[in-house]
Each structure stands twice: as C-alpha cells, then as structure tokens.
Structure 1
Amino acid sequence: MLSRFLLLSLVTLLLTACGGGDSAQPSPPPPVTYEYLSVGQPQALVSASPPQEPSTMIMGGGAADVDSAFQWMIERSGVKPGTGGRFVVLRAVRPEVEEYGPYVYYSNNQKATTGPAQSGWVGGAAMGLTSVETLIIPDRAAANDPFVNQVLARAQAVFISGGDQANYIRYWKNTALHTTLNQLMANNVPIGGTSAGLAVLGQFDFSALNDSVSSAEALADPYNTFMTLDPDPLSLSGGFLTPGSFKNAILDSHFDERNRMGRLMTFVSRLVAPVGTSGCAGGILAAGTSPINGARAVGVSEQAALLVEGDGQRKPYTARRAVNPDLVMAGAIYFVRPLQAATTCQPGKPLTAYSMEISKLDDDQVFNLSDWTGLPTYTIDVVDGVLSREPY
C-alpha cells in the first residue's frame, strides 16, 4: 500500500509540474504596462453635445505646438464652458516631462483655468474641458486593456503625440484600442496628431518599421529596406486609421526642416498601380486627378497645422492652415499628386516620375480636399532620382 501511495503521489507531482491534470494552476495575467496621467477632474460629469461632422488636425512637429490647432479641436468637439469635456492624449513612450496635460488644460504657467490663454498655452479648462488625460500604451497588452479603452472611449477629442510611428503600428493596430479609435471617428470625435501621430492618419502610412528614410535614399531606390509602408502589401483595407478626408493619401511631417519632398514624392509614387510599363509594383491607386482613386500626399512643415472639416458628402472636406501668430517664419503645407505614373519605379533603380503636381498653402486660403482645388499649382519632374527644380 505504501509503494502504491508513493507512486500516486509521484504521478500527481509530475502532472502538476507539466501543467496537466486538475491541479494545474492558471497562468497569472500579464503585468499592467500602461500608464495613466491626468490633469483636472476626469470623473466630472460631461454634457457636451456630440459633433455633427468629422474634424481632423495634423501638425508638422517642431519645437512648439500650434496653440490654436488644439483650441480648434476643442471647439469642434462640442465642448463649451459649463459642458465639461475630456481631451485624451495617446503616446507609446513616456516623456521626461508630461507636457500635453498642463499645456492643453491651463491658460498660463500659473495654472489658470479661467481667462484667455497666453501664448504657449491652450486654455482648455477655460473653454470647458474638465480634464486632459494621457495614456501611455507601450505594447499590445496595454492596447487591449479594458481600462485604457474605457478612458479613451469617453473622450471628446483625441490627440496622438509624436514619437515613432512604428510603435503605433506594432502595438496599436488590430487591437481593442484600434477598434475604439475607429468608433470615436465614426462618432465624429475630433482626432489629431503631430509628427508620428500625423504619419498614422492617412489611409496609407510610412510605417518606419526599419527606421526612417531620407529623401535621397527614397529617390535612389523606392524599394530600399527603409521604405516600409502600411498596409503591407498595399490594400484598400487593412490599414490603421483612415479619416475620410485623407482617403487615398499618405502624410508626412517635419517637411521643410528635414527636406522631405523627395521621399513624399516617392511614397505617393509607390501607391500608383502598374499600367503597361509605368507605375510601381504593388501599387493599387491611379495617377491623375480622380477624386475616387487618385493617389495623393500631404506634407506639413514644422510649427504648422492643417485643420480639416466637412464630411465629404453634404459639405466637402476643406482645410486651412494654423500657425502660432508670433512666429517669424511659419511653415507651409504641401499637397502633392502624381499626374502620371512613374516611368521607372523598380528595386535598386532611381525613381523617374514626371509631372508631380504641387499646391503650397502658406497663408489663410482654404484648400478643398474633396476635389483638390483652391490653390495655384506647379509641377516638378523626378529624373533618375533628382528633382528638376527646387520644390519648396
């Protein structure tokens, strides 16, 4: 009897060690990796009326954010004094100093919550916000966390910070966070982004999965290892975030300072499907002026923002520039589309693409994103990886 007891005990211990049998213990849940920061009163009641049409803001990055662009997002969200409202900031990496919460919420460096905002402050509390909440989401587990999505789902406006867009594609795409963001956009909640946050707001994205790419590198070889696009392979579905105003478009930031016109022309050329001996392998759109399937691109310079409103149906998508008024040299915004498919677009060979049409927005004019009109145009050719003239 003793030997049978010992044998049974040994079998039980082995089953337990191997995870078999009734005595196996469930795996502990993964550790919480997100961080949550807030300014104001996140639990305050909110009575803001939902907006009736979409609003999208893209900012080019740089040393200073555009105060009026955030103010515009708050106004478009339906938040007013007395209604309350939650402004949610998303990022993948925690900054050394949490700048967006105080910057958006307060009116000055004395933490005023009333009165007009001083330069360098948004004054969201005076406009009606009751909180600015920041979610730091560094992996897919955090992006699927119920608390993260509960905070995000309550937002009246959402802003995606700068950083590395590869993190947003790797960690956020096809998660619960992705679903929540799509639902917010479907409900016309304003969404904005700067730098990397801008990069993920086109239907097609430069995903930077293998690091960044310079204009010279892109023009010299449109398929070099750094030229990673999302979705991959290119498709009309399966991307990350797609505001209706940026259908068929790819976006880029830090435009003037980092000389990115060449790489944006290469990005948009890659979107154009082969036609005969022209076009780029893997492309799925058309060259030319079609608002249905024409490839498009938008480049935003530093310390400038593009404010887009309309629903594309009852009202066209229209865009205007916003800058801080005290800037001596304010950045421009460029709208680019290929009027012809690239004639040379192959791995290992320099790009040749004729008739790249450019519209430059550097004042208070309004650009129609639905039919791509409202500004003078000029064209540039790319021949053997070299632009035919100064593009800016």
Structure 2
Amino acid sequence: MRLISFRHLLCGLALAGFAFTAAAQAADSQRDGYSYYTIGDLAKPRPEPVQPGLMLVGGGDWPYDAFRWFVARAGHGRIVILRASGDVEAQNEFFNDVGGITAAQTLVFTDRRAASDAEVLRIVREADGLFLAGGDQANYVRFWKGTPLNAAIDAHVRSGKPIGGTSAGLAVLGAYAYGAMDGGSLTTAEALADPAGPAVTLVADFLHMPYLERVITDSHFDKRERQGRLITFLARLAQEQQRSDLVGLGIDEYTALCIAGDGEGRVFSGNGGFVWLFRPQRAADVYAVGKPLSFRDVPATGIGTNGRLHLRDFRVERPAFEARYDIDAGRLTRRTP
C-alpha cells in the first residue's frame, strides 16, 4: 500500500511539474501586444548566404517547391513568420514539411503596440527570410503601416533578403493593396456594381517591394472568380493615381510566383494553377460614383509552370493563355482574342 502511494506521489509530482512547465511556456509566449513561438535551433548559424527574392503565394495549400526555392534564398537559415491570427501552424510546416532551415519563429500581433517593440524589431532584423501569413490584411494595415516594423520589413528586403506572403500576406506585398478595411471580403459582383464606392478600400504607401512598384495583387484568384474584382481595383487606381501603367497580378490557390533578384519570375503550382497578368494601360470607359463599371477590351495573360514573367517590363515567355475581358455596365464577359 505504501509503495502504491509513493508511486502515485511521484506520478502526481511529475504531472504537476509538466503542468507548471507548460503553463510557464504558454505565459512566456504572451507578450505586450503579441505572442511569440519558435521551433528549431536559434543558435545554429545560417548554412549559406542569403539572396533576394519575392514569393507571392495565392493561398490554400502550399506548393512546396516554391517554398523550397524561398528557403534556399534565405540561405537555409531562420524564417520569421508575421501574422495577426493563428499561432504555430506555419512555422511547423516550414520546419517539419518544407524543411531545410535552422529555425522558424512566429510573431502573432494583437495590436499596434507590438510593431514598435524592441524585441519584435530585433527578431525581424535578424531573420534570414520573412513570411507574411494569411488571415485578415486589414489587421496588417492597422497594426503595421507607418510603424518601425513597417520600416524594418522594407529594410529586410533592401538588404537583399527574401520575403514571401500568402493570401492576406500576398495582398499587402504590392505597391497598392486591397485592405478589406470595412471588415468584408469584396466579391467581383459588388466591385463591378460600385467601383467608386466605400467597399473598395485600397491602400497605398505601405510595403515597398522591388518590381512591384506599380502592382496590385489578388489571391484565391480563379477559384473565387476575382478577375472582375482585380480589374475594378485597376480602374479605381488609374483614376485616383492618375496613371496608366498599373499592373494586376492574380495568383491561383496552391500556386506561387517566385521572383529572383534579377526580376525573372517563375510559377510553381501543385494543381496546374496560373498567375494572371492584367495590364489595361488606360482608364476605364465608365468610372463614376454610384455607377457600375464599364471597361472594354482588358487584356489578360496566364502564366503557368512552363512560362516566365519578366517583372522589369512584364514581358511573358510561353504564356499559357491569352484572354480579353469586357465589362459593360457591371457585366463581365471573357473572350479569346
């Protein structure tokens, strides 16, 4: 009887110790305005030098070949994931499934204070690669735009290190972004019906990426039928920015556009997806407050895994398809040129 009680005592002490350790770890991950997680060996040196690169991911499952390209650009070193929801899923996928990195760290932002936190800025500064996770891009705009973190992300890229983003993280990588600032997720029908309306919340002067200086991106592209939405964004930006050289890049799910330091982009996809290039090079035919959009003969080019997109001049090698879109009083049709 005494032996059984002693064993129970040892078991109880062990469980109590485990619970205390788990509680301490959980408490340690909660910081002022953010949570912090890590996996791997933070003390291990980066095996190879870093290289510049942009990885634009359309959401959904990860095309691992693109992520391995990104990891190689980061010198197989330390990846830092920035997000405003979720927790460890992306860092675990990087470390366990993509592989080939020394460590991954995650910063989950809950308000704007953390974007000025000295420890956050140190972690970002020491990252070999930055990855912006999916979620709600409105939080990225609210929490990061115009902060020291915003400057640190730009500095990371200027220093020749790679950056990537998926879904909401992709949305904010262009020079212009759909911010979803009204809390919704705009559909093509809604955008075409009221292109100058308050639901088309576009953001400028946030992140500053090479080769994306006149680009707005969109994700989950063909699956959610966002062709008309992206054309609407371009029409509104052309009006507001008074420029005709704007470019829209739509990325399909399970698909990524990886852009090397020389501006050459290649497509990776796990499901035969495409990168969609839109270059109207003019203003819309009808764009006015309270009126549906009319915009005829908008060219679109699809780039698949066999093609190449040269971001310096947006020249396409071996396009997968060419199409033209006509919008007449908010009604979208597609035709083959």
TM-score by length of 1: 0.74
Number of the residue aligned with 1:330: 272
CA apart distance, 1:36: 0.9
Alignment of 1:258 onto 2:224: yes
Once residues 101 and 201 of structure 1 are traced to their aligned partners in structure 2, the CA distance between those partners, rounded to angstroms, is 20
Number of the residue aligned with 2:98: 122
Number of the residue aligned with 1:89: 81
Number of the residue aligned with 1:268: 234
Give 4+ residue runs of structure 1 displaced > 4 Å after superposition. Answer: none
Alignment of 1:135 onto 2:111: no
CA apart distance, 1:269: 1.1
CA apart distance, 1:247: 1.4
Alignment of 1:385 onto 2:336: no
Number of the residue aligned with 1:16: none
The answer to whether the 8 Å contact 1:355/1:379 transfers is: yes
Letter in 1 for 2:272: A
From 33, 53, 71, the equivalent of 1:55 is: 53
Number of the residue aligned with 1:196: 168
Alignment of 1:226 onto 2:199: yes
Number of the residue aligned with 2:90: 100
CA apart distance, 1:161: 0.2
The answer to whether the 8 Å contact 1:352/1:382 transfers is: yes
CA apart distance, 1:43: 2.8
Number of the residue aligned with 2:255: 304
Once residues 387 and 93 of structure 1 are traced to their aligned partners in structure 2, the CA distance between those partners, rounded to angstroms, is 34
Number of the residue aligned with 2:187: 214
**SS in structure 2 of the partner of residue 265 of structure 1:** helix
CA apart distance, 1:363: 3.1
CA apart distance, 1:390: 5.9
Letter in 2 for 1:389: R
CA apart distance, 1:379: 2.2
Q: Deviations over 1:120-170 (max 9, x none)?
A: x2112xxxx221111111211111111111111101111000000000000
The answer to whether the 8 Å contact 1:339/1:357 transfers is: no
Letter in 2 for 1:303: Y
The answer to whether the 8 Å contact 2:50/2:73 transfers is: no
Number of the residue aligned with 1:249: 215
Number of the residue aligned with 1:25: none
> Unaligned stretches of 5+ in structure 2?
1-30
Once residues 205 and 256 of structure 1 are traced to their aligned partners in structure 2, the CA distance between those partners, rounded to angstroms, is 18
Number of the residue aligned with 1:41: 41
**SS in structure 2 of the partner of residue 37 of structure 1:** strand
Once residues 47 and 122 of structure 2 are traced to their aligned partners in structure 1, the CA distance between those partners, rounded to angstroms, is 18
The answer to whether the 8 Å contact 2:47/2:75 transfers is: no
Letter in 1 for 2:90: Y
Once residues 73 and 162 of structure 1 are traced to their aligned partners in structure 2, the CA distance between those partners, rounded to angstroms, is 17
Name whichever structure is richer in helix by fraction: 2
Number of the residue aligned with 2:241: 283
Alignment of 1:67 onto 2:64: yes
Q: Deviations over 1:242-276 (max 9, x none)?
A: 2112111100001111110000000011121xxxx
Larger Rg: 1
Give the number of aligned pairs: 302
Q: Deviations over 1:16-69 (max 9, x none)?
A: xxxxxxxxxxxxxxx712111011111333464242xx310011112x111111
Letter in 1 for 2:55: M
Number of the residue aligned with 1:76: 73
The equivalences for 1:170-189 within 5 A come to 170-189=142-161
Q: Deviations over 1:199-241 (max 9, x none)?
A: 000000001101221100100110222100012xxxxxxx111
Once residues 333 and 33 of structure 2 are traced to their aligned partners in structure 1, the CA distance between those partners, rounded to angstroms, is 49
Alignment of 1:321 onto 2:284: no
> Unaligned stretches of 5+ in structure 1?
1-30, 80-84, 107-120, 232-238, 273-279, 287-293
Once residues 160 and 185 of structure 2 are traced to their aligned partners in structure 1, the CA distance between those partners, rounded to angstroms, is 32
The answer to whether the 8 Å contact 1:266/1:351 transfers is: yes
The answer to whether the 8 Å contact 1:104/1:132 transfers is: yes
Letter in 2 for 1:93: S
The answer to whether the 8 Å contact 2:176/2:203 transfers is: yes
Number of the residue aligned with 1:27: none
The answer to whether the 8 Å contact 1:340/1:354 transfers is: no
